[in-house]
Amino acid sequence: MRIGFLVRRGNPDGLGLATTLACGLRGRGIDAVFVNDYGECPPPGCPSAPGAEVARSADMLVALGGDGTFLYGAGLVGDHDVPLLGLNLGSLGFLTPYATSEASAALADAAEGRLGIEERMRLHVTLRTAGGEIESHSALNEAVITQRNLARLMDLAASLDGDTIATYKADGLILSTPTGSTAYNLSAGGPILTPDLEAIVLTPICPHTLTNRPLVVRADQGLSVTNVSTDHAILTVDGLWSREVAPGDMVEVRKATRPLRVFRPRSSFFSILRQKLSWGERKA
């Protein structure tokens, strides 16, 4: 077995924890390799490789950090069916459910097959420019179209399988997975979806009219959003990849062919909501 480690940049304590975990694995005859082109540099003497190479060769990837590190890891392994284990070094950590105190036990359970694996739907996001250029990227959380510079409303024409939904006049539009529903979508007033659903949420950001409410659609349908403004916009995918969206450019979003495989947290989804968001609690 070969296990990869991805450590959030700027976190030497996380690197120390990963080194300890890797040494423990090697003592049990399990190979450990560090991603060396993102985050903290691996310690001297530890095997390392670029993230793309680790994703192709590892049996699982361990992400030590917050949700941003987990999302980066998801981008590495999502197309390779390599399961991802999240160890939380951040403050919130919806995607990284295991605390540092649980790291050793969680890793041992994952390596020995005692930790269940669940699948999370991803998005296939394609930018089609008016000039005919095409570029695609995958998303675990969301694709967001926002204004580039000026604090000015945008006009974004959305359709589903060719059927017009609306032209949103707003600061932007969030296209979210169920996994991403607790991220930017939630902050913008969108609904929370359980992560086992296969659906896409459209949530306008500060819409001009209150009738433009969040919308949930089936994931097997094709969404398209065209920038019909006179201003340029920015497309951001999972906070990691961005491109300019010129007037007339179109963003297409549909369910990705392959889901992300993640190790199941020991707590239920609603337990995590109660813990992270004080869900349903009444203040005295």
Closest of 64, 27, 69, 31 to residue 47, by C-alpha: 31
**Rounded Cα–Cα distance for residues 65 and 43 (Å):** 17
Cβ-count burial of 43 within 10 angstroms (0-12 exposed, 13-18 middle, 19+ buried)? middle
Q: Assess whether 67 carries a catalytic annotation.
A: yes
Handedness of CA 95, 120, 70, 16 (dihedral sign): positive
Sign of CA dihedral 50, 81, 101, 239: positive
Cα separation, 90 vs 76, in Å, equals: 20
Residues in the chain: 284
Element (H, E) at 227: strand 223-227
Instruction: Report, in this order, helix, strand and coil percent for the chain, each rounded to 5.
Output: 25, 35, 40
User: Could you say which of 31, 59, 67, 163 is catalytic?
Assistant: 67
Identify the residue whose tokens are 């540099």. Answer: 41
Residue 46 — φ and ψ, nearest 5°? -90, 135
In terms of DSSP H, where are the helices of the chain? Answer: 12-27, 51-57, 67-77, 103-111, 184-187, 269-277
Residue numbers annotated as active site: 67
